[in-house]
């Protein structure tokens, strides 16, 4: 299989018009998480969803790689697809990739970022320990089970449960890599917002999320946005870490409005 055939196998591409939307799934998941969003947003503009290296439509038995490798992959995919201007829509810790792609390509190419259900204010208590646990052969499955329980308990959405089950098919190598790369990102920057604030030219950024439902977290983001007009947050009427399975219509509407106004 040629490089282009592999890329096509790992990409969905619908619609026309720019800025295009490029959807990036998180670690240990694939682009099918965005099926409902690409179908809806593709009615208004070009919408692409890609798999990360070693995930989904890419071969899974690849050699080890880093976030920097994924960033290079995404830049190459943007160029190969002939995208002039793009809005990156990143699920969870794929946000680190999106921020770095923006830094590399600059504001004329990457017009904005949509961050989906991420800890933009910084990691909550215990999260660093969980990342360390994912990197240990004796504890990674227990940590993963805890994450899966947190993401699915009380959420009666079969498609979400199916997606999380698919995440369980990734083994220790993938989850260890995820823990290592996410931990390294937080070691380099205390929070995603702190990393965004280091960009030379501010990047219009929308945080679209459901968890946590704590009003104090929303208020903290709004206060940050008042001081940094390039940032805003929108809390969704959903309850899971994967709100695209619960409220795809609202998510698509908000994403389209954000892209249209850039």
- Cα–Cα distance for residue pair 200/31, rounded to 1 Å: 30
pLDDT at 1: 46
pLDDT at 59: 80
Q: Could you confirm whether domain 3-122+190-260 is CATH 3.30.1380.20? A: no
Question: 244-261 pLDDT, tens per residue?
Answer: 999 999 999 999 999 999
Question: 81-125 pLDDT, tens per residue?
Answer: 999 999 999 999 999 999 999 999 999 999 999 999 999 999 999
Residue 169 has pLDDT above 90, yes or no: yes
- Closest Cα partner for 220 from 122, 92, 94? 122
Does the CA dihedral 8-9-10-15 come out positive or negative?
positive
- Per-residue confidence band for 9, with pLDDT thresholds at 50, 70 and 90: low
Measured distance between the N- and C-terminal CA atoms of the chain, rounded to whole angstroms: 38
**Is the CB of residue 50 less than 8 Å from the CB of residue 23?**
yes
Residue 155 has pLDDT above 60, yes or no: yes
Pairing of strands 20-24, 86-91: parallel
Question: 26-61 pLDDT, tens per residue?
Answer: 999 999 999 999 999 999 999 999 999 999 988 887
What backbone torsions phi and psi does residue 199 show, to the nearest 5 degrees?
A: -65, 140
- Cα–Cα distance for residue pair 23/33, rounded to 1 Å: 10
Residue 5 has pLDDT above 60, yes or no: no
- Closest Cα partner for 140 from 175, 180, 166? 175
Output the average pLDDT for the chain.
95
pLDDT at 60: 83
pTM more than 0.75: yes
Question: 18-30 pLDDT, tens per residue?
Answer: 999 999 999 999 9
**What average pLDDT does the segment 144-154 reach?**
96
Residue spans per domain, the chain:
3-122+190-260
Question: 116-148 pLDDT, tens per residue?
Answer: 999 999 999 999 999 999 999 999 999 999 999
What backbone torsions phi and psi does residue 11 show, to the nearest 5 degrees?
A: -140, 140
pLDDT at 4: 55
- Per-residue confidence band for 8, with pLDDT thresholds at 50, 70 and 90: low
């Amino acid at each position: 299989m040629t490089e282009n055939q592999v890329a096509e196998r790992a990409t969905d591409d619908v619609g026309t018009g720019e800025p295009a939307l490029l959807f990036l799934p998180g670690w240990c998941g694939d682009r099918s998480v965005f099926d409902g969003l690409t179908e809806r947003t593709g009615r208004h503009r070009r919408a692409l969803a890609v798999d990360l290296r070693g995930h989904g439509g890419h071969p899974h038995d690849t050699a080890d790689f880093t976030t920097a490798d994924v960033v290079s992959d995404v830049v190459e995919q943007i160029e190969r697809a002939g995208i002039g201007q793009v809005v990156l829509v990143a699920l969870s810790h794929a946000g680190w990739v999106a921020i770095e792609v923006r830094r590399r390509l600059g504001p004329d190419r990457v017009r904005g970022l949509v961050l989906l259900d991420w800890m933009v204010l910084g990691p909550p208590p215990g999260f660093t320990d969980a990342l360390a646990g994912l990197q240990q052969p004796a504890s990674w499955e227990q940590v993963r089970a805890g994450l899966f329980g947190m993401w699915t308990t009380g959420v009666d959405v079969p498609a979400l449960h199916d997606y999380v089950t698919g995440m369980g098919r990734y083994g220790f190598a993938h989850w260890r890599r995820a823990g290592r790369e996410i931990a390294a990102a937080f070691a380099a920057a205390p929070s995603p917002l702190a990393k965004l604030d280091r960009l030379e030219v501010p990047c219009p950024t929308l945080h679209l999320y459901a968890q946590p439902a704590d009003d104090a977290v929303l208020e903290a983001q709004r206060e940050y946005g008042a001081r940094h007009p390039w940032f805003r947050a929108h809390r969704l009427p959903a309850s899971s870490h994967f709100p695209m399975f619960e409220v795809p219509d609202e998510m698509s509407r908000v994403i389209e409005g954000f892209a249209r106004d850039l």
